[in-house]
Amino acid sequence: MTRAGSGALWEVARPGAILLAAGLALAGAFTRNPVFFGIALAAALLAFAVRQVAAHRINAARGLREGVKQKGAVEISFHSWKDAESNVHESCRGLISMDGRPLWEMEFAAPGHWRPREGSYPARLAFIRGVEWPVVILTQEGLLYPRLKPRQRRGQMP
């Protein structure tokens, strides 16, 4: 992840996808070809997806390089659900605790090189300036980072 560099590619991906969508929509308007509108819609969805994930990925890379590390704990759980077509989906979630601080509830981005196991684990939490939650959670098995903006919770882990 630290090879992601400064995240420059991720930073231009969203504006690039937006420009692509706008260009395709204009091409559809001029040519009246509905294929351009369909591709423009796909590019707009791509821009939205990049917006959801890119910031967290960039922050995680920064946190690994220059973040302030603190001891904490993570309680990992998996949640499954079915969509309208009966496809089963699974998300990895975690409750993050820190000494005397509120808990953070996170949905983690799917790690590509390992599969976390459910349970409670000690962890190192990396923080960066300008972000109030831990941007990356380092466990013995691997690292996790948020897929979406985490939610703050009050109380202690059981």
* Domain spanning 69-153: CATH 1.10.150: no
Q: What are the tens digits of pLDDT across the range 8-63?
A: 565 666 677 788 888 888 888 899 898 989 988 888 888 787 777 778 888 888 89
3-state secondary structure of 140: coil
Residue-wise pLDDT for 73-84, tens only, equals 999 999 888 888
Is 147 a residue whose pLDDT tops 70? yes
- Provide the sign of the torsion angle of the four alpha carbons 135, 137, 138, 141, taken in this order: negative
Per domain, the residue ranges of the chain are 2-65, 69-153
- pLDDT value at residue 123: 92
Tell me which residue of 155, 146, 158 sits closest to 101, measured CA to CA. Answer: 155
Note the pLDDT tens digit of each residue in 118-130.
998 999 999 999 9
Question: What CA–CA distance (Å, rounded) separates 123 from 101?
Answer: 15
The reported pLDDT for the residue numbered 5 is 46
What end-to-end distance do the CA atoms of the chain give, in Å?
32
* pLDDT score recorded for residue 7: 54
Per the model's pLDDT, the better-predicted residue between 107 and 13 turns out to be: 107
Measured CA to CA, the distance from residue 77 to residue 99 in angstroms comes to 21
Most confident of 1-5, 67-71, 110-114: 67-71
Task: Give the helix ranges, DSSP H, for 3-147.
Answer: 8-31, 34-66
Please report the pLDDT score of residue 69 as a whole number: 94
Helices then strands, each counted (H, E), the chain: 2, 7
Whether 2 shows a pLDDT value over 50: the answer reads no
